[in-house]
Amino acid sequence: MLRYVPLGFALFAAGVAHAQNASYGLNGATGLIDMPTAEVLPDGETAWSFTRTGTQFSSTLTFELLPNLETAVHFTTVDQWIGGVPLYDSSLDLKYRIFEENGAFPSLAIGFRDFLSNGAFSSEYIVASKNVGAGVTLTGGLGWGRLGSYNPVAAPFGPRAPSTSTGIDFDQFFKGDAALFGGIEWDTPLRGLSLKAEYSSDAYTGEQAYSGFAPQSPFNFGIDYAPVSGVSLGAYYNYGTDFGIRLTLSGNPNRPIVPPDLGMGPVPVNPRPAGYSTDGSWTASQLARDSVIAALVPVFEAEGIVIEEATITPDSINLYVQNTQMPLTTKMIGRIARTLSVAMPPSIEYFRVTPVSGGLATTTVEIRRTDLEAQVERPNAGPESWQTTRFTDAPDTLGEDAWKRDAYPDFSWSLSPQFPISFATGGAAASLDLVLNASANYRISRGFSLTGSLSQVLYSSSGAAPGLTLDRLTADYVFKLAPSTYGRVSAGFLDAGYAGVDTEVLWKPTNQNWGLGLELSAVQRRTAGDMFGFDSYQSVTGFGSLYWDTGFYGLEAQVDVGRYLAGDVGTTLSLSRRFDNGWEVSGYMSLTDMPFGTYGPGNFSKGVSVTIPLRWTMPFETRSTTGISLSNTNGAGGARLDIGNRLYPALRDYDVLDFNETWGAYWQ
């Protein structure tokens, strides 16, 4: 099933941001109508498009992965294909702009459509675009594959093998007939309105063969209108016979809707007076220590910082803290240090702060008070403070004698509406549902908790019967085997499909930009429609994982190798780009030894998701996020447990590399 989960309002919020007016084609990527242009999106720009033509419906996530490199993932349903049945296709497009327009020279781009398979949409192209003034842009290009199928001019690099749609076939790139395409776009004086016309080099061969579709003309015409920046509508008259429409919502992590940094500033720091006392004998008193910590608790809580554990020595204070509010951990660390510089007696020279995430102590950040006083407000405070701050893997606890938060057991819950969209797949009608999700967490100690999650379908446009789903009911225990080694055990109803036991170990030293994980689980499949029922299928799955934060444009990679739920063995490769403010766009693909014939649509699993921090849209501090994900999960091949509390996602924001990237917030 292809679906969005959850559909929050954030993408719409993203849509009303002041994005630049990119020109999108009918397939959701930058382009004319069916033909591409040499234009690419601004770096980080993220757009979600929904398009409908007489022959197909598609949803596309377009993302500027790196400057000049545009990616687009399409999930397309062609109404009639071989045998008169629909074709469900997911495909990846890449476009790289080689030259940006400069003076008399046009911009030039090279592109690949349906890059990962030699399938129905596979094509390659080289295209140039030039703004000739008065808002007019001319585009011309040469296409291969599907884009070389109408009125080809030559086959300069030899013949092309028939499309197989079974995998990447690098040998076929730029092979076969090549055809010319081109077009014109006029950005009219009416704000947001542009007109387009193009000559298409696509013969729509498959549609003609399988659905009786008969294009009458290679010329297509369109109107694009952006009523507000970030929202784009398109209407098109294509092939002399057909109409198409498009809606695109876009946003950019680099252009937040609300001004960043709006709110209360940090506590001003004043240096200790000359000749201050270094006498720390007061710390010998348990009462004095506890009084100081008790006084800090409400001050920090006002900024969403919860002290879990604390110790005070004659020259240091050590805090284990939870950050419930600030999107950036480094900002929290800076604010704690500033407050301590005001609150602590002069003898306290070292501030050691350890963020706790998901119940686990992460990295201890040691700040020398003398350095803080010497650096604050100075021009080079950022780089200098990074040089003088120490980072070490934290022990699991500060010890038996430490002050500990007296708040367990702790109960929390949430209730949130969701609006999943199901696509027309497998003969089912497309539907929009209203789902109410209720989650609760009962934390017995910092590392041990019970978690449950229920979903109730309140309304389904397809008329499906409302039903209550138990998404998760687990007992979870997290712990540290060593300062750089984390562990987790979860048992119960692990996800909507399986129940059992799932265990995980992660080795991830804070000073290292990579980590290794091992996950093992023994599960039994749950019966669909029966909340506590099981069928006879059992499985043991296990994965070894490599996590790598490249440090390059926020790109992170993950490779999982192991045995999937259906018993197939293979690999999942995940790639994500994370922005400092929490935006994340990610994609994955799994390839296993399951034969393509039984794997399910697409022959291998793939999916994309966008995570948007609410701080990007809201004028107050919050760590909440929302987002959209889309994947093909029809087949059994490549299926994994949907574990809600895997270790690496909970810990990846707390290592030295991540702190380095966001260290500017330390002084905010």
Partner 1 sequence: MRPVWIALGAVTFLGACSSTGTSPVFTAIKSVVLPSKEDTAPTGPRVELTRERIVQNGLAMVRARIEGEEISNILSATSLNGGYVTYVSGFRQSITMLGTLVTATRGLGGDLLSVRHAPNDPVATLTKPADWPARITRDYRFPGTGPAGNVVTVSCDIAAAAPTSITIVEITYDVTPFTETCSGDGVSFTNTYLADRTGQIWQTRQWVGDKVGYLNLEVLEPFTAD
* Stretch of 241-249, 383-391, 422-430, 582-590 contacting partner 1, by CB under 8 A: 383-391
Question: Please, which of residues 65-104 interact with partner 1 by CB under 8 A?
Answer: none
667 binds partner 1 (CB under 8 A): yes
252 binds partner 1 (CB under 8 A): no
Pick the closer one to partner 1 by CB: 418 or 581.
581
241 binds partner 1 (CB under 8 A): no
Measure the CA–CA gap between 235 and 405, rounded to whole angstroms.
60
Distances (CA, A) of 652 to 448, 514, 616, 649: 21, 10, 20, 6
Pick the closer one to partner 1 by CB: 295 or 531.
295
Q: 16, 94, 381, 402: which one contacts partner 1 (CB under 8 A)?
A: 381
Which residue has tokens 């959209």? 628
Measure the CA–CA gap between 338 and 353, rounded to whole angstroms.
12
Measure the CA–CA gap between 173 and 170, rounded to whole angstroms.
6
Measure the CA–CA gap between 4 and 133, rounded to whole angstroms.
41
Pick the closer one to partner 1 by CB: 336 or 523.
336
Q: 171, 315, 373, 530: which one contacts partner 1 (CB under 8 A)?
A: 373
Q: How far is the CB of 149 from partner 1 (least distance, A)?
A: 44
259 binds partner 1 (CB under 8 A): yes
Q: How far is the CB of 507 from partner 1 (least distance, A)?
A: 26
By CB under 8 A, the count of residues binding partner 1 is: 53
136 binds partner 1 (CB under 8 A): no
Q: 268, 399, 426, 533: which one contacts partner 1 (CB under 8 A)?
A: 268
Pick the closer one to partner 1 by CB: 45 or 661.
661
Q: 386, 391, 442, 596: which one contacts partner 1 (CB under 8 A)?
A: 386
Measure the CA–CA gap between 429 and 463, rounded to whole angstroms.
10
Grouping H, G, I as helix, E, B as strand and the rest as coil, residue 481 is strand
366 binds partner 1 (CB under 8 A): no
Phi, psi of 616 (to 5 degrees): -70, -25
- 161 burial level (CB within 10 Å; 0-12, 13-18, 19+): exposed
Q: How far is the CB of 666 from partner 1 (least distance, A)?
A: 8
Q: How far is the CB of 212 from partner 1 (least distance, A)?
A: 54
390 binds partner 1 (CB under 8 A): no
Q: How far is the CB of 458 from partner 1 (least distance, A)?
A: 33
Pick the closer one to partner 1 by CB: 21 or 622.
622
660 binds partner 1 (CB under 8 A): yes
Question: Please, which of residues 611-630 interact with partner 1 by CB under 8 A?
Answer: 619-621
266 binds partner 1 (CB under 8 A): yes
54 binds partner 1 (CB under 8 A): no
Q: How far is the CB of 305 from partner 1 (least distance, A)?
A: 11
Grouping H, G, I as helix, E, B as strand and the rest as coil, residue 371 is helix
663 binds partner 1 (CB under 8 A): yes
Name the E strands within 107-155.
107-113, 123-133, 136-145
Q: 265, 275, 529, 597: which one contacts partner 1 (CB under 8 A)?
A: 265
Give the pair of three-digit tokens for residue 205: 């061969």
- 579 burial level (CB within 10 Å; 0-12, 13-18, 19+): middle
Measure the CA–CA gap between 322 and 320, rounded to whole angstroms.
7
Pick the closer one to partner 1 by CB: 608 or 665.
665
Question: Please, which of residues 286-305 interact with partner 1 by CB under 8 A?
Answer: 291-292, 294-299, 301-303
Q: Are 267 and 299 in contact (CB under 8 A)?
A: no
Distances (CA, A) of 510 to 51, 96, 357: 45, 35, 14
Measure the CA–CA gap between 513 and 374, rounded to whole angstroms.
30
Q: How far is the CB of 20 from partner 1 (least distance, A)?
A: 15
267 binds partner 1 (CB under 8 A): yes
DSSP output for 282-337: GGG-HHHHHHHHHHHHHHHHTTTEEEEEEEEETTEEEEEEEESS-S-HHHHHHHHH
Residues that bind partner 1 (CB under 8 A): 259-271, 291-292, 294-299, 301-303, 339, 342-343, 373-374, 376-383, 385-386, 554, 580, 619-621, 660-668
